Amino acid sequence: MQNVYFDNGATTKVLPQIATAMADAMVNNYGNPSSIYRLGQQGKEVLDDARERVAELLTASPKEIIFTGGGSEGDTMLLRGVAQAFSTKGKHIVTTAVEHHAILHTCQQLEKEGFTVTYLPVDEQGLVAPETVEAALTKETILISVMYANNEIGTIMPIKEIGAIARKHGILFHTDAVQAAGHIPIDVQADNIDLLTLTAHKFHGPKGTGAVYIRQGITLKPLIYGGAQEKGLRAGTENTSGILGLGLACSHAVEHMLENRRKITALRNKLIDGIRSNISGVRLNGHQEQRLPNNVNFSISDIEGETLLLLLDLAGIAASSGSACSAGALDPSHVLLAIGLSPELARGSLRLTLSEFTTEEEVDYLLVELPKIVERLRFSQLGIKKIGKVEKDVKLR
């Protein structure tokens, strides 16, 4: 049995050279960046250097980069930071129905605090139409938040067009770019982005470290109060080793993006074609072309996602499904429901996400194992249905 990892949309392996550099920094470069002695200043140099590396990834200026504790924190910081700083101007926020829960749950909390939020629908490919964004704006709108690419189905949103609409109306535009950053080119200037979230662990950096981009001239309310770190927006002694890892992951992404995109896209296409031709009753979710290079998401009829994941795990395959088991009940994904899938089909979904470490052998292995598992599951499901029918017949008599 092999051990293959197809859940890079959930998190990725840290690049070994980054792990080594971080371990060295923890032991040898542990000074507090706020201290004036040399060891402290060396810590500050780590921050300055990493800020440049993050800025380069986004075509931003280092002054516009604030380090955070990851994607959820960054999303919360920006949404709440805007809401609190601009509530005298208006209390309306426009977002989409397919955002990550870090956005959706923050919006729901803001609604409890007196804000109004419009959750825009998407089409069957997962795209929000720029016209619907524009139509949703009111005099009260202070923020538009649309994710760069969807974490479940990989659809890449029309960010540039939405950014242009936001600019035209003088409204701030935020994008959760957690799935896109480090994977596809992002240019905050060309894309008209005012605020952006990213996190290191989705592109081979450490967990619990991320950054937000805040366009120069925008002043937000802080998320964490205390010291003056990160322009007073996020108090607390900086996670220097984590930030070092984030910076190195950004540079690695910049350097290898083109070749990795090419390689990963080819493997992804092989996976998609292989699943389509070896399993009946499958449907590729998300946009056919405008999707992340590493994302595959299929709905498989007459399959229950959670059971599929268990059997895949027994075969050494790590993947994720379109349902989350909460309190013993299977909740179909809000994203799959939003693109029009029935709850039943949404529960039978499989997400496979690749990385630069994914090999052709792993793809081949999956293409051998998955059809066998699906066939077995469908066969036993058929059996269960038959038994259910017999029991019903018995009861009727």
**Token pair of 83, please?**
């809401």
Q: Using CA atoms, how far apart are residues 174 and 196, in angstroms rounded to an integer? A: 5
Q: Which amino acid is present at 260?
A: N
Nearest residue (CB) to ligand PLP, 102 versus 282: 102
Q: How far is the CB of 199 from ligand PLP (least distance, A)?
A: 3
- Using rule CB under 6 A, residue 176 touches ligand PLP: yes
Inter-CA distances, 168 with 12, 55, 161, 171, 304, Å: 38, 25, 11, 8, 46
- What burial class does residue 393 get, using C-beta atoms within 10 Å of its C-beta: 0-12 exposed, 13-18 middle, 19+ buried? exposed
The beta strand positions in the chain, using DSSP E, are 4-5, 65-68, 92-96, 116-120, 141-145, 172-176, 195-199, 210-214, 282-284, 295-300, 317-318, 320-321, 323-326, 329-332, 349-353
| Cβ closest to ligand PLP, residue 104 vs residue 345 | 104
Stretch that binds ligand PLP, among 194-202, 247-255, 346-354, 359-367 (CB under 6 A): 194-202
For residue 281, with 0-12 CB atoms within 10 Å meaning exposed, 13-18 middle and 19 or more buried, which class applies?
middle
Among 96, 118, 141, 179, interactor with ligand PLP by CB under 6 A: 179
**Is 325 known to be catalytic?**
yes
User: 13, 355 in Cβ contact below 8 A?
Assistant: yes
Alpha helices, DSSP H only, in 141-239?
Answer: 159-169
Q: How far apart are CA 316 and CA 366, in angstroms?
A: 10
205: nearest Cα among 154, 253, 240: 253
Q: What are phi and psi of 157, to 5 degrees?
A: -80, 155
Scanning the structure block, which residue is given the tokens 């949309």? 9
Closer residue to ligand PLP (CB): 162 or 373: 162
Residue whose CB is less far from ligand PLP, 176 or 194: 176
Among 12, 141, 145, 151, binds ligand PLP (CB under 6 A): 151
For residues 54 to 83, the per-residue mask of contacts with ligand PLP, x marking binding by CB under 6 A and - elsewhere, is: ----------------xxx--x--------
Contact region for ligand PLP (CB under 6 A) — 27-35, 58-66, 198-206, 379-387?
Answer: 198-206
β partners of residue 283: 299
Which region among 172-180, 233-241, 308-316, 340-348 touches ligand PLP (by CB under 6 A)? 172-180
Q: How many residues bind ligand PLP (CB under 6 A)?
A: 15
Instruction: Verify binding: residue 240, ligand PLP, rule CB under 6 A.
Output: no
Query: Which residue number is nearest to ligand PLP in terms of Cβ?
Result: 71
Q: How far is the CB of 12 from ligand PLP (least distance, A)?
A: 11
- 3 state DSSP class of 160: helix
Pick the catalytic residue: 26, 39, 258, 325? Answer: 325
Least distance to ligand PLP, CB of residue 155, Å: 12
Q: Which of 33, 130, 210, 245 binds ligand PLP (CB under 6 A)?
A: 210
Rule CB under 6 A: is residue 205 a binding residue for ligand PLP? no
Query: Could you give the 3-state DSSP secondary structure of residue 4?
Result: strand
- In the complex with ligand PLP, which residue's Cβ is closer, 95 or 373? 95
Contact by Cβ (8 Å): 366, 352 = yes
Q: Least distance from C-beta 208 to ligand PLP, angstroms?
A: 7
Q: Which of 199, 240, 321, 355 contacts ligand PLP by CB under 6 A?
A: 199
Residue among 218, 198, 230, 183 at smallest CA distance from 54:
198
Least distance in Å: CB of 54 to ligand PLP? Answer: 14
Nearest distance from C-beta of residue 98 to ligand PLP, angstroms: 10
The smaller minimum CB distance to ligand PLP, of residues 294 and 374, is found at 294
Binding to ligand PLP by residue 147, rule CB under 6 A? Answer: yes
Minimum separation from the CB atom of position 100 to ligand PLP (A): 3
Using an 8 Å Cβ cutoff, are 101 and 243 in contact? no
**Separation of alpha carbons 316 and 368, rounded Å:** 13
Nearest distance, CB of residue 74 and ligand PLP, angstroms = 8
Interface residue with ligand PLP among 51, 80, 100, 183 (CB under 6 A) is 100
Judged by the rule CB under 6 A, the positions of this chain that interact with ligand PLP are 70-72, 75, 100, 102, 147, 151, 176, 178-179, 199, 201-202, 210
Cite the active site residues: 325
